Structure 1
Amino acid sequence: MSKPVDRPEDAQDRLSRIESLTDTGLAHVEMDTLLRQLLDRVRELLDADSAMVLMHDNAESVLVPTAVSGLNEDVDEAVRVPVGRGFAGSIAAQKRPIVLDRVDETTVLNRSLWEQGLRTLLGVPMLAEGNVVGVLHVGSLTKRRFTDYDAHLLQVAADRIALATQAVRSRAERAAAAALQRSLMPARLPAVPGAVLAARYLPGGVNGVGGDWYDVFTLPSGRLGVVIGDIVGQGLPAAVIMGRLRSALRAYALEFDDPAVVLEKLDRKVTHFEPDAMATVTYAIFDPRTHRLALSLAGHPPPVYRRPDHPAAVLDVHADLPIGARLASRHRRAHTVEVAPGGVVCFYTDGLVERRDAPVDEGLARLCDAIDPAPADAVCATVMHKLLAGEDPGDDIAVVVLSRDAEITSPRVRPSDSGNRNGETYGDLDAVMSYRDEPLTELDDDPPSLPMVTMRVPARADQLTPARRALTAWARGHSFPSDVVRSIELASYEAMANVAQHAYRNGDGELRLSATAHPDWLHIAVVDQGEWRDHDDESGGGMGLALIRSLADHADVDTNDSGTTVSMTWVRPDAHQPVG
């Protein structure tokens, strides 16, 4: 029987207790635990013998029993109640409370309710922003007259439960979407002869996981596939579509050499099997032998290209319709660009350049201004800093940069046999400057004055000295003061030593040292693809970053699934303005 409510203060107390159902103590529990505890409270407050929640399955338009309290608390997961049929289905369809005084097979589809002897049921819809997310009902083993006030209390409880379940479900979906998206991003970028790759991904600050994605892979021919795209939508549904598109594009890339054909096949697949999906995609193929970049655009912004001797500019290539647009169109087009020595190509998604309070052309101009002829990770770092410094992006952002190594016609690096110079002995050395094929062992007294150099060095302590000497000579060649050159030498060597000591668990790995010179500043990046071990101060690694920061004008460490990048910048003492 219902508890008598004779005094206004009793009614108000019950209402307050109902309204406090979703207190902070339940804010971070799992869905099953949350529903069970909420139903226990509802059953107690309404003095009912049973309470049940059925969640709405949008895809099938059915209600599914999800949690129960009282009597037999086993949930029959096989039960499906179509919206519009039976007791619970009628509540969902009509979006209003219903009292049922006859509980049997003619009125209730869930047979467990009448088999347990329930005589009276009161049910209300669970609504969130006007949409039915489920049904909450309570039952009595005796004939009972549920009042309008009981229905009001149960509706208040249902509203609270709807909000709580939506919050828990959203949190779970965001976590699942983020995990799925991370699994779809390349864990490591492939090594390409004569070129360097770098990438960044930044989720949107408000909406969490969006639809931006990128992929980089090596094809059987030795060429490089680069993909960047933007799925229409957010959260878990967008991440699922992202995974399907990524797998399909990779499969087509193995079969067809023309990026336009690959996107045609992808569009056909999406149009047939994913009728509600749409995406913008750029697919490019870089040939490291010819240095040609073939690309096709499906509604995606064209990349920015910077030659060493020209300002950066948006490539003059036309985009075809997005993937899944379902509109008749001409065959997709492919375009070819020859990447010059020292050239940089920057692929990006629209979140990097679009702002609500500024035209997109302004964002593209800022992007072009931010790209210098430098190694890929230095370009990535500069682009993200100059376009996003102090901003919380409303949209997620993906950036992929490909930089071709510089070349020289008269190499100043010469190989030498084992020998002695200044009393130091060294033999075969494996550190390689990227613009020359033979091993680097000595530098002429007149050091190279290239604006950009890259060295790949085995991550072993006995291989670091040649790279340190080469970098020191290069910095000296750009007329930096001797005290700055010494700081560059010490900080860079410390960064390389940390990689050799901590980055690779089996001791077998490689680091990349890139250096870029500007009239006003010099930038060094030490990049590894290892998984760093924890280390204590006794190993020396704990003091490494502090030492680097004390020696450089600016130092930063970026660690992600692809590895770790230590970026260091020195500003020329007489420079007009510092580098951010």
Structure 2
Amino acid sequence: MVALLTPGLRYADANEDFQRLSGRTRDQLVGRHLFDVFPDNPNDPAATGVRNLEASLKRVLETGERDSMALQRYDVESLDRPGEWEERYWSPVNAPILGPDGHVALLVHRVEEVTALIKARGVPEEGRARVLEAELYTRARELQEVNERLREAHAREREVALALQDAMLPAPRPVGHHLAAVRYRPAVGSLNVCGDWYDLVDLPGDRIAVAVGDVVGHGLHAACVMGLLRSALAAASLVADGPARALDVLGLYARSVDGAENTTAVTTCVDWETHTLLYSSAGHPPPALLRGDGTVEFLDQATDPPLGARPDHVPHPQASSAFTEGDTLVLYTDGLIERRREDIDTGLARLADALTRHRAAEPESLADALLLELLPAGGATDDTALVIVRL
């Protein structure tokens, strides 16, 4: 049973199981307040269903975190016999859906109906609390054992995925006579790793291509998809006429790779002969250009949706920006700037401030300073790739 609730606790939608087991049609739910549809049983002065459920939903709205409730008795009025209330037992879980601004946009109200389980055992009403307690204890022990096995399996997969990621990402190396630094930091205590990549490709003349990308997903599969896309973009950059054409090739290739949908990427071409940066982005956070005077320009004039997001292929846009000797180009993935329940502009402003304060640092020192200041002290929940090139 699953229903969607607005932050005002009105029904936005409900699946067929919810309608069937609650005895309410979709028309009787959508648009109405939760507790208008399901009030407490007025004949039971000890009823706590409304109070407990409201407290759980408010916790989710305030914290943005999932909340699992203990088994609840929550009687429901019969539609066939108005005024008669059916004794019902439920196990609810409430979870948030965050909007673009980081605030809770919808609530997922998932419910397991366990009335039949209780009544099938023929337990008198006065003994049902003990049965529920024993049932909850047994389920908790079973879930604990399952979670232990899952943690062990996840730890093994994480270790293999990180090793694969490390093997496929290029090692730090000189970029001609130019200074550059690269970093990759996996998420801490999470399988949400191995989808990010970076690359630097030498091009004819005094030019290089610099790119970063982020595959949706995690673990071994994301690492494999990452390797395919990174190699494809590197090859395309060598022959394509500019970053936009390279992303065109990557976008067409991504349509044939399972798991590459909605990958984000940004690629740039640095030309030291003309002191020009060409760039193109597919749904990725904008590169930052740190000027010698400490000002920061975000390269956001050639943005497009992530790879494969459009039903039909459309050529990617491309833009340019002039640079002077001593400027610094910074490419990164969203783990560096994005935080839950925070607008992305806040993260970009935090990055710009850190770049300005450390503008005199060499790329290696600057990379260390950015990771130290911008990643959460306890570790990020998403992996982070970072490339810094002194122009």
User: Which TM-score bucket, shorter chain as reference?
Assistant: 0.5 to 0.7
Cα offset for 1:168? 4.2
Q: 1:336 to 1:276 in 2, by over 3 A?
A: closer
Q: Which position in structure 2 is the counterpart of 1:19? A: none
> Where does the alignment leave 5 or more consecutive residues of structure 2 unmatched?
1-141
What is the aligned counterpart of 1:223 among 204, 207, 210?
207
Structure-1 separation of matches of 2:273 and 2:239: 20
Q: Which position in structure 1 is the counterpart of 2:390? A: 403
Structure-1 separation of matches of 2:351 and 2:212: 17
Q: Which position in structure 2 is the counterpart of 1:288? A: 272
Structure-1 separation of matches of 2:320 and 2:344: 25
Structure whose alpha-carbon radius of gyration is higher: 1
When normalised by structure 2's length, the TM-score is: 0.58
Cα offset for 1:222? 4.7
Aligned residue type for 1:339: F
Residues 256-298 of structure 1: CA deviation (Å, up to 9, x unaligned): 1311111111111111343663310011111233232211101
Cα offset for 1:306? 1.5
Structure-1 separation of matches of 2:167 and 2:204: 23
Residues 207-241 of structure 1: CA deviation (Å, up to 9, x unaligned): 24241211112134452121101110111111010
Name the SS for the 2:179 alignment partner. strand
Aligned residue type for 1:251: A
1:300 aligns with 2:284: yes
Q: 1:159 to 1:315 in 2, by over 3 A?
A: closer
Q: 1:220 to 1:342 in 2, by over 3 A?
A: closer
Q: Is the 8 A contact 2:337 2:348 kept in 1?
A: yes
Cα offset for 1:165? 5.6
Q: 1:318 to 1:373 in 2, by over 3 A?
A: farther
Q: 1:236 to 1:287 in 2, by over 3 A?
A: same
Q: Which position in structure 2 is the counterpart of 1:172? A: 156
When normalised by structure 1's length, the TM-score is: 0.40
What is the aligned counterpart of 2:301 among 317, 321, 346?
317
Aligned residue type for 1:384: L
Name the SS for the 1:274 alignment partner. coil
Q: 1:307 to 1:235 in 2, by over 3 A?
A: same
Structure-1 separation of matches of 2:302 and 2:378: 30
What is the aligned counterpart of 1:196 among 153, 166, 179?
179
Structure-1 separation of matches of 2:361 and 2:318: 27
What is the aligned counterpart of 2:337 among 345, 353, 375?
353
Q: 1:265 to 1:290 in 2, by over 3 A?
A: same
Name the SS for the 1:206 alignment partner. coil
Q: Which position in structure 1 is the counterpart of 2:54? A: none
Name the SS for the 1:328 alignment partner. coil
Q: Which position in structure 1 is the counterpart of 2:321? A: 337
Residues 356-415 of structure 1: CA deviation (Å, up to 9, x unaligned): 1432211111110111144212221222222236342111111111112xxxxxxxxxxx
What is the aligned counterpart of 2:254 among 270, 273, 296?
270
Name the SS for the 1:394 alignment partner. coil
Q: Is the 8 A contact 1:210 1:395 kept in 2?
A: no
Aligned residue type for 1:354: E
Q: Which position in structure 2 is the counterpart of 1:232? A: 216
Equivalent residues in 2 for 1:519-538, closer than 5 Å:
none
Name the SS for the 2:255 alignment partner. helix
| Alignment RMSD | 2.8
Q: Is the 8 A contact 2:194 2:226 kept in 1?
A: no
Residues 447-477 of structure 1: CA deviation (Å, up to 9, x unaligned): xxxxxxxxxxxxxxxxxxxxxxxxxxxxxxx
Name the SS for the 2:340 alignment partner. coil
Q: Which position in structure 2 is the counterpart of 1:376? A: 363
1:387 aligns with 2:369: no
Q: Is the 8 A contact 1:212 1:349 kept in 2?
A: yes
Report percent identity of matched pairs.
37
Aligned residue type for 1:247: S
Aligned residue type for 2:338: E
- Structure 1 range deviating more: 299-308 or 163-172: 163-172
Aligned residue type for 2:202: T
Q: Is the 8 A contact 2:222 2:259 kept in 1?
A: no
> Where does the alignment leave 5 or more consecutive residues of structure 1 unmatched?
1-157, 405-580
Q: Which position in structure 2 is the counterpart of 1:206? A: 189
Cα offset for 1:169? 3.4
Structure-1 separation of matches of 2:223 and 2:155: 15
Structure-1 separation of matches of 2:378 and 2:295: 26
Structure-1 separation of matches of 2:295 and 2:143: 58
Cα offset for 1:164? 6.3
Q: Which position in structure 1 is the counterpart of 2:346? A: 362
Equivalent residues in 2 for 1:506-545, closer than 5 Å:
none
